[in-house]
Amino acid sequence: VKLDVPSRGPCNRAARKRIACGAAAGFFCSFRNHIRRFTASGTLRRAGAVRCGIMRALQLAALVGLQAAASVRGNVNRTESSSFNVLLPMTLHKDGGYSHKEALFGIPRYGNAIMEAAHYSSNDLCSDNEDTHPSPYVMIVERGNCSFVTKVRRAQHMGASAVVVVDNHCTCEHVNVCVPDPTLGDYDDGSCESVVPLMSDDGSAGDIVIPSVIIERQDGLEIKSWIEENPDHNMMVEIQWHLPTPDPRVEWDLWTSPIDFDTATFKEEFQDAVNALGSHAYFKPHYIIYDGDSYGCVAESPTDELFCGDQCSNSGRYCFPDPDGQRDYGLSGADVVRETLRQACIWQLYGSDEAEDEDQHGIGIAWWDYVNYFNFHCQSQSGFNSEDCVRRAMEAADIDHSQVQGCIVASGGYDERSGENSILKSAIEDKVNKGIVIMPSLFVNNIFEKGAMNAPVVFDAICAGYEQGTEPAACECAGIASSSRWETCIENCVEDEDKCGTTPEPENSATVKDDGLGAGAITLIVLSVLFVAAGAGYGYFKYSQDRVRNEVRDILAEYMPLEGEGASFGIDAEVV
């Protein structure tokens, strides 16, 4: 059983050098180091410290047993790429772990785990907190009153290694066993959450380096109750991050919309990369729209006024905020929903597992062709709603217009007074279940990718997801930072797989590397600068010397007698 113990003392260093450490050796190492924490100059400070050290060692030995049992079971309930569990007390330990969601900020420790004492915050961490706990530890805090980022940042400043946020809402699934926050109502009106929210970045989380997760309310209250009832004992929790299991195919998902201008350039540049990766990568686009029912937009009868107006379609069921902010003219949210349905149908017909051409499953080149044509020719106010522009885009992508229309009608349509639409309903459910709040969002092997939507960067992330030795030839182009050279490499790879990884050599390759200056050119420039500096220095020196000489002559002239006067006093008036 691998023992992950704090790196203190030679015993731990020796244990870390081994691949595995037996339970008995782990107990000895933990026992010795915890006793050392309560000694000074080899002498025990007090008997209570000895008992405390022994108890902590026994706790860690029990922890080793739990880890061994988990490895034997080999069946851990993992939420996305991580797991959360209580290790001590064992009465709160759950086989498979607690339901939770990772934050979209901070730095997760993939392939590692944090196993530390847990402390419940005395306030909501929206203001200064006077709690003091010996680091490292895991801070547990309730959701509410400020952003997730604010809470985690304060915990980080207090020395926490990780943060567990307890939801302040009950999920609808657990209303019967969950005690709601009294300030939020009793959920008799059905205002419970369908899923636990995603801890998203508010745009200021660049300084946060500790990881965090959110757990369901009923679980958090049970943990809180135990901590309050056992002030003399520490709870130990574990947050573990699992490396995604690589295989010969990488799955990646993009959450976008027809007016996602931030990804327009990316989609254009990445289409050749999709071709180059071929069946080695499985792509799926997802569309972001909003549930009109949750905003009270749905009309109960065909004659009712549409509360949300033209921001929604299908009697207020499927909505999108007005893209240009002008309610009386321009594009409407319903226009975006209509184009969303059209593009979703194109993917279903030409890229999903339902597509007739099996070679296009998870690739969907026709979808890429249509979307890129639409983005660069139909995004004007007149073009977005132009049936002619849509038809031209479909012709350019070799898409059957009648098939797409058939898909739209079969799914339920998008008219103002239509009913439910199966494709749009599924899009909302996927968005809610995944907790998507940011557009665009990219996932590679089910892991959220942070950073700019840049084609070479996304390509690198995809190629990093393959099992070693199974990377497609196109991944020879990974790691090229220059966008222009990366595009050339991908184009060569699409043309001929044997050319994958080849890029044009810079001119005068003997002296120039990566469009930079060669050593000879740099030396010449440095020598030229030194020569000019030396010449300027010498010139200034001569100028200063002449100036001082002239000043001395002027001073002497003031005290020398004139030629006639010098003769009358018997003084030689010649000035040398």
Higher pLDDT, 80 or 507: 80
pLDDT confidence of residue 198: 85
User: Average pLDDT of the chain?
Assistant: 80
Torsion of Cα atoms, 93 then 209 then 194 then 351, to 10°: -110
- The CATH classification number of 250-499 equals 3.40.30
Q: Can you tell me the distance from the alpha carbon of 255 to that of 263, in angstroms, rounded to the nearest whole number?
A: 10
Q: Name which of 188-197, 346-355, 491-500, 514-523 the model is least confident about.
A: 514-523
Domain ranges of the chain: 9-73, 82-241, 250-499, 519-568
On whether the CB atoms of residues 271 and 301 are closer than 8 A, the answer is no
Q: Can you tell me the distance from the alpha carbon of 316 to that of 289, in angstroms, rounded to the nearest whole number?
A: 12
Of the candidates 271, 288, 224, which has an alpha carbon nearest to the alpha carbon of residue 442? 288
82-241 and 250-499 agree in CATH topology: no
Residue 11 clears pLDDT 50, i.e. is over it: no
**Is the peptide bond between 10 and the residue preceding it cis, with omega within 30 degrees of 0?**
no
**Is the peptide bond between 246 and the residue preceding it cis, with omega within 30 degrees of 0?**
no
Burial class (CB in 10 A: 0-12, 13-18, 19+), 180: middle
pLDDT confidence of residue 115: 95
Residue 511 clears pLDDT 80, i.e. is over it: no
Confidence bin at 435 (pLDDT 50/70/90): confident
Question: What are residue 251's DSSP bridge partners?
Answer: 282
Backbone φ and ψ for 358, nearest 5 degrees, come out as -65, -25
Q: Can you tell me the distance from the alpha carbon of 334 to that of 326, in angstroms, rounded to the nearest whole number?
A: 13
DSSP conformational letter for 561: P
Give the residue-averaged pLDDT of 341-353.
97
Give the residue-averaged pLDDT of 487-491.
93
Residue 50 clears pLDDT 50, i.e. is over it: no
Q: Can you tell me the distance from the alpha carbon of 477 to that of 463, in angstroms, rounded to the nearest whole number?
A: 9
Pairing type for strands 250-256 and 281-287 reads parallel
Q: What is the pTM of this model?
A: 0.64
> What does each C-alpha distance from 146 to 25, 170, 215, 217 come to in angstroms?
46, 18, 17, 17
Pairing type for strands 212-215 and 100-102 reads antiparallel
pLDDT confidence of residue 165: 97
Confidence bin at 247 (pLDDT 50/70/90): confident
For the packed helices 333-350 and 365-377, what is the interaxial angle rounded to 10 degrees? 150
Q: Can you tell me the distance from the alpha carbon of 453 to that of 24, in angstroms, rounded to the nearest whole number?
A: 50
Q: Name which of 43-52, 176-185, 296-305, 369-378 the model is least confident about.
A: 43-52
Instruction: Calculate Rg over the CA atoms of the chain.
Output: 35
Give the residue-averaged pLDDT of 254-283.
94
Tokens of 364: 């969907």
The SS3 of residue 182 is: helix
- The CATH classification number of 82-241 equals 3.50.30.30
On whether the CB atoms of residues 437 and 105 are closer than 8 A, the answer is no
> What percentage of the chain carries pLDDT values higher than 70?
77
Q: Can you tell me the distance from the alpha carbon of 167 to that of 555, in angstroms, rounded to the nearest whole number?
A: 89
First to last CA, the chain: 100
Confidence bin at 552 (pLDDT 50/70/90): low
Give the residue-averaged pLDDT of 392-411.
96
Q: Phi-psi bin for 564: left (phi > 0), alpha (psi -120 to 50), beta?
A: alpha
Tens digit of pLDDT for each residue in 199-231? 988 878 889 999 999 999 999 999 999 999 999
Tokens of 41: 């100059």
Higher pLDDT, 346 or 25: 346
Three state DSSP letters for 478-534 = CCCCCHHHHHHHHHHHHHCHHHCCCCCCCCCCCCCCCCCCCHHHHHHHHHHHHHHHH
Tens digit of pLDDT for each residue in 57-115? 444 444 444 444 443 333 444 446 789 999 999 999 999 999 999 998 898 877 789 99
Length of the chain: 576
Pairing type for strands 43-44 and 39-40 reads antiparallel
Confidence bin at 401 (pLDDT 50/70/90): very high
Q: Long-range CB contacts (< 8 A, 24+ apart) of 450-456?
A: 450/104, 450/105, 453/262, 453/263, 453/266, 454/266, 454/483, 455/266, 455/269, 455/270, 455/273, 455/483, 455/486, 455/487, 456/480, 456/481, 456/483, 456/486
Residue 336 clears pLDDT 90, i.e. is over it: yes
Q: DSSP secondary structure string, 196-209?
A: PPP----S-GGG--
